Copies of this chain bind each other. A is one copy, B any other.
């Protein structure tokens, strides 16, 4: 069995993620850590992000465009993806704990976190009816 050894880079990645409420990409994390470790490697960032995600210490969020995003595990949260402008917005819900409970009822595994991805057209894009593609 492989045992973990301490690495200050890995600690910094965790620490950086905990300080952010958004969902940075690996490259964003890389750029920020370069301020502390000028010659840190992007591979190191990717390797540690995967490792931390596997350990359940952070979440990996796959988005519909661009690269994966990461955050420190906190509360379940929800996203709205607009199929027009491709933005990923946060979406507040009152009753998220209930979703977890509901899901656990029919499931043998351990549910640790959840993210609901809503899809559709955002408020801004509903306003403009100038679509770039028109279906007849």
Residues of A within 8 A of B (CB): 1-4, 51, 53-56, 59-60, 62-64, 68, 78, 80, 82-84, 91-95, 99-100, 102-103, 105-123, 125-126, 130-136
Contact = CB atoms under 8 A, between A and B. Distances in A.
Contacts of A55: 83, 133, 135
15 contacts: A1-B130, A2-B133, A2-B134, A4-B134, A4-B135, A51-B133, A53-B83, A62-B64, A93-B102, A94-B105, A94-B106, A107-B123, A109-B125, A112-B120, A112-B121
Nearest to A119: B113
Contact of A111 (B59, B92, B113, B119): B119
A30 to B, nearest CB: 20
A56 B119 CA distance: 9
A93 B83 contact: no
